[in-house]
A = this chain, B = another copy of it.
C-alpha cells in the first residue's frame, strides 16, 4: 500500500503497478508530527504513531503483519532517544509476534524533528479482497484519539510555537480489533482516515455511489482540538479534507449487522458508532459538518 501526500498521478500508478509483488505491505511515517515528539521527547507515542499508521493500513489489506523495518531520523546524535525508541518498538512488536528485520538511524542535522518511518510486510489472512463501500451498506466509524498523525503542517500554521498536549497523543492501533471483527462479520469496505482525511473514501466508491456521513450528536463528535482549529478559520471542507475530526477508521457492512459490530468493538475496548450509509449517487462523499451542520461535499 502506497502512502503519498497527495494521490499519485495515473502515470506514477502505472509505473508502480508494473513492479508490484504479491506481498501485502505498508510503508508510512509520522511526518511533521515528529517535530512535537522530538521537542517533548514523547518517544513512546511516536513509536505508537509509526506502528498505527502501518498496522491500520495492513488491517485494510486484510493482512497480518509478520515483520517490519524501521527508519529513525533525528536531528542530532542522542543515544537515550534511540534507546527509548528501539525499546518501545521491540515491546510493541513482541506483543504482536512481529519480527524486526532491519533498520537505520540517520542524523539529519538540518531537520528539527524526529521521523520514524516503518515498513511492514505480512501475509493475507483470507486472500486478497478489494475494499468497497456498496450501496445499502451502513458505515461504522471508530473513535480517534484526537489528531492522530496527519494534518500537522496545518496545525503548525495555526498554532505557531504554541504547544498543546493533544499534539503528541498517539494514534490508536485498530488492527488487532479489526482482525477480530473481520472474523465475525462480512466487512465490505474499510478506510483509515489519515492524510487526505475523508477524501480518501472516494477511492472506495464507484460513480454511482454516494457516502452520507454525519457525526453530529454521535459518540464520535470532534474533540476540542478540532473545534479550536475550526474556530481559527479553517472551513468545513478543509477540516474534513485534512483532519479525522473524531473518526479514525471507517468500516462498512450490511445494515443488519451495524449494532452488533458496534457492540463487538465495545467488547474489544474501542468506541464506535454508526455514522452514515452508502446510497445511490454520483461518486460523492457528503458530510454534514459537526462544526456548522452544513453539508460539505468532497
**Interface of A with B (CB < 8 Å)?**
1-6, 8-9, 11-12, 15-16, 18-23, 25-29, 31-32, 35, 66-67, 69-71, 73, 77, 79, 82-83, 86-87, 90, 93-94, 98-113, 115, 117, 119, 121, 153
Contact = CB atoms under 8 A, between A and B. Distances in A.
B23 A107 contact: no
10 contacts: A3-B102, A3-B105, A11-B83, A15-B83, A19-B100, A20-B100, A21-B66, A23-B101, A25-B67, A27-B69
Contact of A27 (B1, B25, B28, B104): B104
Given A6-B77, A29-B73, A67-B121, 8 more contacts: A11-B83, A16-B90, A20-B100, A21-B66, A22-B99, A23-B99, A27-B71, A28-B104
B94 A29 contact: no
A149 to B, nearest CB: 11
B35 A102 contact: no
Given A32-B110, A79-B9, A108-B31, A25 B117 contact: no
A2 B103 contact: yes
A-B pairs with lowest CB-CB distance, top 3: A21-B99, A25-B101, A69-B119
A98 B27 CA distance: 17
A102 B6 contact: no
Contacts of A28: 104
A2 B104 contact: yes
